[in-house]
């Protein structure tokens, strides 16, 4: 996690939390500092006399409960840590929310590079992946690690009950349709059209695997000296059992190309990183996944559209919360960047419909 070299303002942990950590780690925690630029779960670096560790906890009273389930994240990472899937070693889970205001877990710290982790987008670090061949190797590593994840048998690693895979795609469309109805601040004919097309094109697939749910460059730690090697995959709070192509479709939203229209970068500025020469194209990513996994990827357009639906709802939800705070006279917990969340919502919907129009699946086309 390359943010470790920064010197953010230290965090003072409560005495009870420090005592708990000392008990499970066998040594005192001398300091804690925030790492990462996300606005969701909280990630802290813990300093001890012998090592650096990572503590992660969810925000208090914010967002979908399932999106901040630390026990769930801890469970899936513990389950796959002895497979081919690269994840940090998990050390302890604390379900006592009174210590920090939310349950938390502790894991090992991995030094490396996390590209395109959070907005605003930053270029790749100096002297990292400087050649086109190295940048190509990053895309291949991303896909190969995804194939490794989807090759893990959930039952073998104790995750047979980790989700309800039957009807996964249909439930996802319903869930985010319901979220739209909950948070929308206006009517949107384009959103209704997107939902109509998704409902009509739900894939009929009975295959399921462990699904990461937020798979992208920004959730992977790359080896500083070998850009073609992923040392750890992070942020598993949206993981479940479901259609593996959902992860592939989600990845494409964050993967820009040099020839992309500016509208695509405006909707997801993190995608600018992969627009540099050498990175695989989205088509090459899909073809490599199909080649290595042997899976039918014909539903990838549907799942890319579904990913954009989720991101559109996130944008609208952030904007709605700011409006609610203004109307109630309270301060909003949403970042100021969410003040135009409705615009980001509309951008994702427009791009999703463009994906539908260009798809080889006629069910995604306008009637």
Backbone angles phi, psi at 199, to 5 degrees: -60, -35
Q: How far apart are CA 11 and CA 19, in angstroms?
A: 16
Global confidence as pTM: 0.93
Helices (H), the chain: 15-25, 70-80, 132-151, 168-183, 189-200, 245-253, 262-267, 282-293, 300-328, 341-358
Can you tell me whether residue 335 is helix, strand or coil? coil
Question: What value does the mean pLDDT take over residues 238-267?
Answer: 97
* Angstrom distances, CA of residue 126 to CA of 5, 115, 130, 131, 179: 14, 12, 8, 12, 41
pLDDT over 90 (residue 69): no
Per DSSP bridges, beta strands 240-242 and 209-211 are antiparallel
Q: What percentage of the chain has pLDDT greater than the value 90?
A: 84
User: Burial of 131 by CB count in 10 Å (0-12 exposed, 13-18 middle, 19+ buried)?
Assistant: exposed
Question: pLDDT digit string (tens) for 291-301?
Answer: 999 999 999 99
Return the number of other C-beta atoms located less than 10 Å from residue 219's C-beta.
Answer: 19
Question: pLDDT digit string (tens) for 273-286?
Answer: 999 999 999 999 99
Question: pLDDT digit string (tens) for 106-135?
Answer: 999 999 999 999 888 999 999 999 999 999
Question: What value does the mean pLDDT take over residues 137-148?
Answer: 98
Least confident of 229-243, 245-259, 332-346: 332-346
> Looking at domain 2-108, what is its CATH homologous superfamily?
Phosphorylase Kinase; domain 1 (3.30.200.20)
CATH number assigned to the domain with residue range 132-364, chosen from the 4 options 3.40.50.1100, 3.40.50.620, 1.20.1090.10, 3.90.1200.10? 3.90.1200.10
Contact (CB, 8 A) for 324 and 301: no
pLDDT over 70 (residue 324): yes
- Those residues whose C-beta lies under 8 Å from the C-beta of residue 71, and which sit 6 or more positions away, are 93, 95, 103, 105
Banded pLDDT at 201 (limits 50, 70, 90): very high
* Relative orientation angle of helices 189-200 and 341-358, to the nearest 10 degrees: 40
Q: How far apart are CA 138 and CA 259, in angstroms?
A: 19
Domain ranges of the chain: 2-108, 132-364
Rounded to 10 degrees, the C-alpha dihedral 58/62/67/73 comes to 10
The closest alpha carbon to 38, from 180, 216, 182, belongs to 216
Opening angle at CA 79, ends 56 and 90, nearest 5: 35
Taking the mean position of all CA atoms in its chain, how far away is CA 320?
22
Banded pLDDT at 3 (limits 50, 70, 90): very low
Q: How far apart are CA 70 and CA 39, in angstroms?
A: 16
pLDDT of residue 2: 47
The closest alpha carbon to 105, from 76, 66, 69, 70, belongs to 70
Banded pLDDT at 198 (limits 50, 70, 90): very high
* HSE value, Cβ hemisphere, 13 Å, CA-based, for 78: 16
Contact (CB, 8 A) for 242 and 163: yes
Per DSSP bridges, beta strands 52-57 and 220-222 are unpaired
Q: What percentage of the chain has pLDDT greater than the value 70?
A: 94
Return the number of other C-beta atoms located less than 10 Å from residue 146's C-beta.
Answer: 25
Q: How far apart are CA 230 and CA 235, in angstroms?
A: 14
In CATH terms, are 2-108 and 132-364 the same topology? no
């Amino acid at each position: 996690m390359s943010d470790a070299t920064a010197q953010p303002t230290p965090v003072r942990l409560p005495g009870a939390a420090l005592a708990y950590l000392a008990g499970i780690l066998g040594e005192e925690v001398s300091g804690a500092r925030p790492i990462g630029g996300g606005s969701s779960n909280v990630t802290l670096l813990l300093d001890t006399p012998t090592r650096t560790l990572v503590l992660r906890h969810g925000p208090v009273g914010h967002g979908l409960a399932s999106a901040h389930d630390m026990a769930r994240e801890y469970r899936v990472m513990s389950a796959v840590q002895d497979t081919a899937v690269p994840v940090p070693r998990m050390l302890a889970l604390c379900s006592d929310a009174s210590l920090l205001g939310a349950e938390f877990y502790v894991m090992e710290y991995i030094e490396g590079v996390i590209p395109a982790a959070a907005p605003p987008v930053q270029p790749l670090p100096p002297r990292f992946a400087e050649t086109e061949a190295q940048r190509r190797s990053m895309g291949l590593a991303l896909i190969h690690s995804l194939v490794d994840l989807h090759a893990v048998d959930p039952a073998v690693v104790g995750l047979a009950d980790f989700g309800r895979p039957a009807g996964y795609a249909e439930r996802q469309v319903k869930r985010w349709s319901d979220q739209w109805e909950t948070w929308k601040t206006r009517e949107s004919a384009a959103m209704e059209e997107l939902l109509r097309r998704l409902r009509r094109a739900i894939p009929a697939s009975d295959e399921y695997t462990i699904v990461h749910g937020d798979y992208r460059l920004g959730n992977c730690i790359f080896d500083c000296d070998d850009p073609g090697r992923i040392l750890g995959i992070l942020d598993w709070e949206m993981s479940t059992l479901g259609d593996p192509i959902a992860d592939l479709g989600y990845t494409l939203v964050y993967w820009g190309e040099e020839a992309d229209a500016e509208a695509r970068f405006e909707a997801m500025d993190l995608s600018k990183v992969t627009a540099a020469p050498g990175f695989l194209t989205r088509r090459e990513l899909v073809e490599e996944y199909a080649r290595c996994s042997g899976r039918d990827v014909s539903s990838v357009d549907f799942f890319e559209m579904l990913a954009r639906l989720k991101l559109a709802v996130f944008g609208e939800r952030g904007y709605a919360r700011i409006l609610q705070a203004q109307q109630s006279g309270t301060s909003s917990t949403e970042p100021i960047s969410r003040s135009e969340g409705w615009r980001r919502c509309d951008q994702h919907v427009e791009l999703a419909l463009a994906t539908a129009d260009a798809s080889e699946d006629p069910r995604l086309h306008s009637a």
